[in-house]
Chains A and B, each alone.
Chain A
Amino acid sequence: MRLTLNIWRQPDAASPGGMHTYELDGVSPEMSFLEMLDTLNEELTRRGEEPVAFDHDCREGICGACGMVINGQAHGPERTTACQLHMRHFSDGETIDVEPWRAAAFPVVKDLVVDRGAFDRVVGAGGYITVPTGSAPDAHATPVPKPAAETAFEHAECIGCGACVAACPNGSAMLFTSAKVNHLAALPQGAPERESRVLRMVEQMDEEGFGGCTLTGECATACPKGIPLFSISSMNREYLRAVRKGGEATD
């Protein structure tokens, strides 16, 4: 396959960036999108040019590191991660636009790499449970009802890729935060911090400069892990419950 690539190039956070056009030949349909970029980077290196910087780690759709907006869609046209997107979904001779996640809370570090530290701080604000250290507890020590386990698993699938924020016209992180909140709120292990967790995580989310939710639904459409849109409503329910119970974000 032969492709024309328009890729966002930006040397560092402080410098201005812009779209650059590259012609790439010899792309096979079996390649993943990242392998296609590797091929381009080899070519660029050969020519003595700076390769395109992009984030990646597992390359099997589970770490959430890779992330780029392909033809205006987070992770491209298929509901998967960029590393699991194959070039057979594009046609020979196609022009493809590749841009970094766009959100005030995700500043560009270089080219397609953005700083997703804001997600880490939201998780740090309450996305954990308190357990005594020492030997691991027996697996059956705390029974978890089946429906609770299913809800928790559904939300635990979130890999923190940030596609939801990138797709949202408001740069809102409600889907990500709701996945984390609902995951732990469903489990007995998450019960002790249930109220303070949702209040703190939402407070941190707002502090990071993510936008407000207007229920456009773009996040759930873009999510490679299928976190459903109603998760946001579940988090709102958790939030209202915590407020009613007089919980405080900081104690």
Chain B
Amino acid sequence: MAVSGLIMLLYLVVHMLANLKIFFGAADFNGYAHWLRTVGEPFLHHEWFLWSARLVLLAAVTAHAVSAYQLSRLDRAARPQRYVHRRRRASYATRTMRWGGVILGLFVVWHVLDLTTLTVNERAAPGRPYENVVATFSTWYGNTVYLAAMLALGLHVRHGFWSAAQTLGAGRARRDRVLKATANVLAAVLTLGFVSVPVGVMTGLVG
């Protein structure tokens, strides 16, 4: 869980930063998307870099989902009977890891159909991601889906990053505050960075 999660987190940081190019205009953003497909040429064939990244991500998502499923099954079996006196336990981010993860998984499917395959994006055309992003955030459901997913992402990263650090043995008494702060900053920066794009389109800053 920890290793696959950190791979995806690294990807998300890069993805979020790259998304900010949208504020520099269509040429910049679309140029970047074009570069993503030609990077490494002529050593690599066209789109090989992109496909390698997709394969690594697919492996990470699969490993993450499979281990989450196995862990949840194990954990449920280990506590077959609930307490009669029920109490709210742990923080919101901690309690929502399972369902938050499922929501993010569904979001990724929607997101790929929306901005990669363009299947569900009505006014989209291949090769011009800038215009496609603007099309997505010109619909109420596009904005709703993305904003909700970004909030879920922030919560998931907040508990997930710190948790992964513990699993990998990085937790120490004196380092705990630093790790918690890093998790919070990562979660906030990712959420705000990603959210800035739909907000940019909605406010007319991007369009």
Q: 8 Å CB contacts to A: which residues of B64-99?
A: 71, 74-87, 89-90, 94-95, 97
Q: Is B159 an interface residue (CB 8 A)?
A: yes
Chain A residues lying within 8 Å of B171, measured Cβ to Cβ, are: 229-230, 232-234, 236
B157-179 interface bits toward A, Cβ cutoff 8 Å, 1 = contact, 0 = none: 00100110111111111001000
Q: A171 to chain B: which residues have CB within 8 Å?
A: 75, 78-79
* From A103, A214, A228, A234, contact of B169 by CB (8 A): A234
Whether the pair B163, A214 counts as a contact (CB closer than 8 A) is: yes
Say yes or no: A215-B162 contact (C-beta < 8 A), given A102-B79, A170-B79, A240-B169. yes
A109 to chain B, nearest CB (A): 15
Q: Given the complex, which residues of B lie within 8 Å of A233, measured CB to CB? A: 165-167, 169-172
The answer on a CB contact under 8 Å between A214 and B75 is yes
Residues B159 and A215 in contact, CB atoms below 8 Å apart:
yes
- Give the complex CA separation of A232 and B162 in angstroms: 13
User: B residues within 8 A CB of A71?
Assistant: 85, 87
A169 within 8 Å of B by Cβ?
yes
A169 to B166, CA, bound (A): 18
CB–CB B166/A232 < 8 A: yes
CA distance A233 to B171 in the complex (A): 5
Chain A hits for B159, CB < 8 A: 215
Q: How far is the CB of B78 from chain A (nearest CB, A)?
A: 3
Asked if residues B85 and A104 are in contact (CB atoms below 8 Å), the reply is: no
- The B102-135 residues at the A interface (CB cut-off 8 A) are none
Q: Flag if A215 contacts B78 (CB, 8 Å).
A: no
How far, in angstroms, from A93 to B163 measured CA to CA in the complex? 42
Interface residues on B, range: 20 to 34
A99: contacting residue among B76, B78, B83, CB under 8 A: B83
A209 and B75 in contact (CB under 8 A), knowing A215-B166, A216-B94, A232-B171? no
Chain B residues, CB < 8 A from A103: 78-79
Distance, CA A230 to CA B97, complexed state (A): 20
* Known pairs A72-B85, A233-B170; A210 contacts B78 (CB<8 A): yes
Contact A218 B75 (CB under 8 A): no
Q: Does A97 contact B (CB under 8 A)?
A: yes
A226 within 8 A of partner (CB): no
Give the residues in chain B near A234, CB-CB below 8 Å: 169, 171-172
Q: Which B residues are in CB contact (< 8 Å) with A170?
A: 74-75, 78-79
CB interface residues, A 99-133, toward B, < 8 Å: 99, 102-105
Contact, CB under 8 Å: A102 / B170: no
Choice from A69, A97, A172, A238 contacting B78 with Cβ under 8 Å = A172
Q: Which of B78, B166, B173 has the most CB of A within 10 A?
A: B78
In angstroms, Cα B2 to Cα A203, docked, is 20
Q: Which of B76, B85, B87 has most A Cβ within 10 Å?
A: B85
Chain B residues within an 8 Å CB radius of A73: 87
Interchain CA distance A100-B47 in the complex, whole Å: 60
Contacts of B89 in A (CB 8 A): 169, 216, 218
Contacts of A239 in B (CB 8 A): 169
A188 within 8 A of B: no
The A197-213 residues at the B interface (CB cut-off 8 A) are: 209-213
Q: A225 to nearest B CB, angstroms?
A: 16
Residues of B close to A229: CB separation below 8 A = 166, 171
Q: Are A230 and B71 in contact (CB under 8 A)?
A: no
Chain B residues, CB < 8 A from A80: none
Which A positions have Cβ atoms within 8 angstroms of B? 6, 8, 19, 69, 71-73, 97, 99, 102-105, 168-172, 209-218, 228-230, 232-234, 236-241
The 10 listed contacts between A and B (C-beta, < 8 Å) are A6-B84, A169-B90, A170-B75, A210-B78, A212-B75, A216-B90, A233-B170, A234-B171, A236-B168, A240-B168
Q: Taking A230-B172, A233-B171 as given, write out 18 further A-B residue pairs in contact, using a Cβ cutoff of 8 Å, ordered by the A residue number.
A: A69-B83, A69-B85, A104-B77, A104-B80, A169-B79, A170-B79, A171-B78, A171-B79, A209-B77, A210-B78, A215-B94, A215-B162, A215-B166, A216-B94, A236-B167, A236-B169, A240-B168, A241-B169
